[in-house]
Copies of this chain bind each other. A is one copy, B any other.
Amino acid sequence: MDNPNDDFIDVGYHYQLTLNNIIEHAARLHPKEYIVYRGKQRETYKEVFERCKRLSNALEGLDVKEGTKVIEFEWNSHRHLEMYFAIPSMGGILHLGNPLLTPEQIAYIINHAGDEVLIVNKDFLPLIDGIKDKIKTVKHFILITDDGEIPETRLDPVYEYEDLLKKSSSEYRYPDLDENTVATMCYTTGTTGDPKGCWFTHRALSIHSIIWGGYASGYGLTPAPYGATLCIVPMFHVHGWCIPYMSTLFGIRQLMIGRTDPTIVLEMIKNERKEDPDRPITIFGVASVLRLLIYHPEIEKYRRYLGNVRYIVGGTAFPRGLAERCIELGIDPYSGWGMTETCPVMGLTLPKSHMRDWPDEKILDFKLRSGWAAPFEEQRVVDAEGRDVPRDNKTIGEIVLRSPWCTMGYYKDLKKSKDLWKDGWLHTGDLALMDEEENPLIVDRDKDVVKSGGEWISTLTLEDVLSKYPKVSEVAVIGVPHKRYEERPVSIIVPKNEFKDEMTEDELRRYLEGYVEDGKILKWWIPERFIFIDEIPKTSVGKFDKKALRPRYKDLLSNSK
């Protein structure tokens, strides 16, 4: 008898899902569409691809081969996009260096990954200069400058990016890589211990980009061909949520802001509007930057340009107060969620077909949850035994998930990898409620949990409610040790300038009691104390740094009973 498998004659070309195919496609099919850098400079996809090939030739000259790791520290720019494609396409590994880590952490991740080439924007040069002696593996340094001038530096040998490109040929034939080749690495900092290295293959990044790009486009967020994306989230943080890859895949315009500056964001929107009054612009960023935008001192000047703008908040919850301010300004708010381990997007709050007739308030409730899963992704909220919690929007459980775009483990760390992937599901450590629409609401992240008397308190819900209080500018809720309840919530508040000296703990307590009556929060969730300060410390990615806050207030309740 024949071997039935032999009957399926297989003599075709096994096309791989690799990143070079994305940029080559954009250059061939959308050669005239372009990237705008800080409103000044334009680079078409055709030019991006040509410069990718120059960069690959330059890096080949610096001994970059298949598997060579190249770390880079750069703002959101056309050059960053070039590195996103050029390094993995030649078989190298793009290590996204987060310049907001501590110097010790940066030295650690370079040596741990074994990076051989380091590319750095002049703005971060002092940082790298400062740890030069601790860096063991780097053989070549490349400096990015907008003006072409190399400042004093201890780095050696050092080259200038544009100079290297100018000297290199734009002819380069990218190899036919297997799609399971590692393309990128990003380190994530947990609550304790050293940063952990997540890694992603060409396949993971490609599938993530086509699925989420397709879903976001199909649901009108980044519609091709006339849409534009403005990625505020730094590209050094988990592939800039893959927005640069998705945008290139669909051949749509990308507005790149360089160093984050709310005024530049507003100016770029204005410039784009002048050229193209009704092009939809979709902005991706964290809530803290959104706050700076929509409470910008000159916001009224920009108000008329904000129609047909959407803002997707990720990384943190979307506080309702901010969302309402967005709507007032004409900006359409959405939430998304993900983490470094997940490439990162795992959910978006796209309204579904049957919600068409829902009232605005109900739609907004839906859009401010965390976000439902794409096809080829499963997200569940489970109890400690791994059983799905009821979809009652009340029972807290942990989000576990799987999809083709998750990291398959941590670089060189088998133990933590096994913890991450226990029982075949990626354990996020995020606690959430699930509703009937399979749209989870994360109620506490990264173990930022308050566990009071054995029960979980949702700090995100408290922050959401408090953020709506008219005198509040920023709010973070943390758990503070407490004799009787183990932990109790404490609320750290930044009042708006005009209310700086007139807010009281009592008025906030009374305000929250109104929500207790509505059943929105439980009585024992009301924070023990409300502390007024001038600024809440932020992490490297713009989230409230609760790790920094906690030690500061650890003794606050030590005399409570």
Question: How many monomers of this protein are in the complex?
Answer: 2
A481 to chain B minimum Cβ distance, whole angstroms, is 35
Query: Which residues of B are found within 8 Å of A373, using beta-carbon distances?
Result: 25, 29
Answer whether residue A372 sits at the interface, using C-beta atoms and an 8 A cutoff: yes
User: Contacts A353-B253, A376-B25; is A409 near B210 (CB within 8 Å)?
Assistant: no
B225 touches A351 (CB 8 A): yes
Chain B binder among A11-19, A260-268, A331-339: A11-19
Nearest residue, chain B, Cβ from A426: B12
A412 to B8 Cα, complex, angstroms: 6
A408 touches B222 (CB 8 A): no
B214 touches A353 (CB 8 A): no
A249 touches B409 (CB 8 A): no
Nearest residue, chain B, Cβ from A9: B409
Answer whether residue A215 sits at the interface, using C-beta atoms and an 8 A cutoff: yes
The 8 A CB mask of A37-69 against B (1 = contact, 0 = none) is 000000000000000000000000000000100
Answer whether residue A471 sits at the interface, using C-beta atoms and an 8 A cutoff: no
A210 touches B8 (CB 8 A): no
Answer whether residue A32 sits at the interface, using C-beta atoms and an 8 A cutoff: yes
A409 touches B12 (CB 8 A): yes
A412 touches B9 (CB 8 A): yes
User: Contacts A372-B29, A375-B21; is A407 near B218 (CB within 8 Å)?
Assistant: no
A13 touches B67 (CB 8 A): no
Query: Which residues of B are found within 8 Å of A356, using beta-carbon distances?
Result: 225-226
User: Contacts A21-B375, A210-B214; is A11 near B350 (CB within 8 Å)?
Assistant: no
A15 touches B215 (CB 8 A): no
A220 to B356 Cα, complex, angstroms: 18
A67-116 residues at the B interface, CB under 8 angstroms: 67
Answer whether residue A213 sits at the interface, using C-beta atoms and an 8 A cutoff: yes
The 8 A CB mask of A223-261 against B (1 = contact, 0 = none) is 111100000000000000000000001111100000000
A412 touches B251 (CB 8 A): no
Answer whether residue A384 sits at the interface, using C-beta atoms and an 8 A cutoff: no
A10 touches B214 (CB 8 A): no
Enumerate 15 A-B pairs (CB-CB under 8 Å) in ascending A order.
Answer: A7-B411, A8-B199, A11-B409, A15-B404, A25-B377, A29-B373, A29-B438, A33-B352, A211-B214, A214-B218, A218-B223, A219-B223, A225-B351, A225-B355, A251-B353
Taking A9-B417, A13-B402, A33-B352 as known contacts, 13 extra A-B pairs with beta carbons closer than 8 A to each other, sorted by chain A number, are: A7-B411, A8-B182, A11-B408, A11-B409, A21-B375, A22-B376, A28-B438, A33-B353, A33-B354, A214-B218, A220-B223, A225-B350, A253-B353
